[in-house]
């Protein structure tokens, strides 16, 4: 090793879902919305002259729209370049104790990456046999708590009473509830913001609002939490969100009717798909997200994953303890899901005949 290499920070990076470059594929591996963004996004008036100026560092136009939508004050909203940016800033800002941050062992796999990157001690708490979080595991002294609700990759949503239990037992640290999938099911912790000053709720436009390619995330909390988040952001990079994103994000969140319509379509297709999975001999968890976490009673998940990929159907497989027998399948359009079901039907039939 050369001398300068000794000072390099080395981490094991997060592995995102595969982004295939091929055409004519069915992409059900990264939980993107199968429907286009609101038409109002494309109709948003962009002043090209504005592109020669730096964007508003506070992204106030978007902040105001999000605040109005949730019935909050502007100083209760923080925006970032996708919820990953918001969560990374939150780790950097709030998790600075010598005590470990707590999060589930089966969860969004970026959490441990950020903890390692920022040199934050952490402990993972095992989900129970039904893949649910165990509240008492989060009662011990810690440096902060974070968990998704609904969880990923299981799609299981914990009740609001569970979130309150965690908050009641963690009054001296920041508790972050990652609600990337809450629009598809479950109870939002937003209703608890007035009761708990240490609660931060994080959302994204990537899933329910079909804007994964635009990268918009935000956090909601009391104004002290938001202020210190902004202090860290401005110390890191003041101009994180570009002008078109601010304008088009505002247009998206103001089109409530379209938002509700697309979410309802995804949920309807999800429920139909679950019935088809049961018919084909799959076991699955009751998903409150825009994906289903399922495994066949007899066929290895990896075999299904590889066979589907050969047919240009991309789903997600995690070769990790406890979950390597399952597949995470994003919900696509009705037509895409019917193609997948047809493939699964044929594959299961052929497998049983071998």
pLDDT in tens, 79-123: 999 999 999 999 999 999 999 999 999 999 999 999 999 999 999
Q: Which residue has the tokens 């104790």?
A: 97
Tell me how far apart the alpha carbons of residues 215 and 84 are, in angstroms, rounded to a whole number.
9
Residues 149-174: what's their mean pLDDT?
Answer: 98
Kindly state the tokens that stand for 320.
């990790």
Backbone angles phi, psi at 312, to 5 degrees: 65, 35
Whether a cis peptide bond, with omega within 30° of 0, leads into 153 is yes
- The answer to whether 202 and 83 have CB atoms below 8 angstroms apart is yes
CA 280 distance to own-chain centroid: 28
pLDDT interval class at 9 (50, 70, 90): confident
Using alpha carbons, select from 287, 269, 275 the residue that is nearest to residue 328: 287
pLDDT digits (tens, 9 = 90+) for 163-211: 999 999 999 999 999 999 999 999 999 999 999 999 999 999 999 999 9
- The answer to whether 61 and 250 have CB atoms below 8 angstroms apart is yes
> What pLDDT is stored for residue 54 in this prediction?
96
> What pLDDT is stored for residue 353 in this prediction?
87
**Does 22 score more than 90 pLDDT?**
no
Mean pLDDT for the chain overall: 96
Per the rule left: phi > 0, alpha: psi between -120 and 50, beta: everything else, 215 is left
* Residues of the chain above pLDDT 90, percent: 92
Q: What does the DSSP 8-state code read for residue 353?
A: T
Using alpha carbons, select from 254, 293, 273 the residue that is nearest to residue 343: 273
């Amino acid at each position: 090793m050369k001398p300068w290499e000794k000072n390099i920070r080395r981490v094991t990076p997060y592995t995102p879902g595969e982004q295939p470059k091929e055409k004519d594929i069915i992409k059900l591996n990264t939980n993107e919305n199968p429907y286009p963004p609101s038409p109002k996004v494309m109709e948003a008036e962009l002043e090209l002259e504005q592109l020669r100026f730096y964007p508003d560092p506070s992204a106030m136009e978007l902040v105001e729209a999000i605040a109005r939508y949730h019935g909050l004050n502007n100083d209760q909203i923080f925006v970032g370049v996708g919820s990953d940016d918001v969560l990374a800033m939150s780790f950097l800002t709030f998790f600075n104790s010598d005590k470990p941050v707590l999060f589930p062992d089966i969860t969004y796999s970026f959490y441990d990456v950020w903890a390692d990157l920022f040199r934050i001690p952490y402990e993972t708490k095992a989900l129970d046999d039904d893949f649910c979080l165990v509240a008492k595991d989060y009662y011990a002294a810690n440096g902060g708590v974070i968990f998704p609700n609904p969880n990923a990759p299981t799609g299981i949503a914990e009740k609001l009473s569970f979130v309150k239990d965690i908050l009641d037992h963690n009054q001296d640290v920041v508790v972050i509830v990652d609600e990337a999938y809450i629009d598809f099911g479950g109870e939002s912790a937003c209703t608890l913001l007035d009761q708990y000053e240490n609660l931060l709720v994080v959302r994204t436009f990537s899933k329910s609002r079909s804007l994964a390619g635009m990268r918009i995330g935000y956090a909601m909390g009391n104004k002290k939490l938001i202020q210190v988040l902004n202090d860290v952001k401005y110390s890191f990079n003041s101009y994180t969100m570009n002008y078109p994103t601010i304008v088009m994000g505002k247009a998206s969140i103001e089109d409530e009717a379209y938002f509700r319509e697309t979410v309802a379509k995804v949920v309807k297709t999800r429920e139909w798909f679950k019935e088809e999975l049961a018919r084909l001999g799959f076991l699955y968890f009751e998903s409150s997200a825009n994906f289903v976490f399922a495994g066949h009673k007899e066929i290895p998940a990896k075999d299904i994953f590889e066979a589907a990929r050969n047919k240009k159907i991309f789903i997600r497989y995690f070769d990790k303890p406890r979950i390597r027998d399952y597949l995470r399948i994003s919900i696509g359009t009705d037509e895409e899901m019917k193609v997948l079901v047809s493939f699964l039907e044929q594959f299961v039939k052929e497998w049983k005949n071998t």
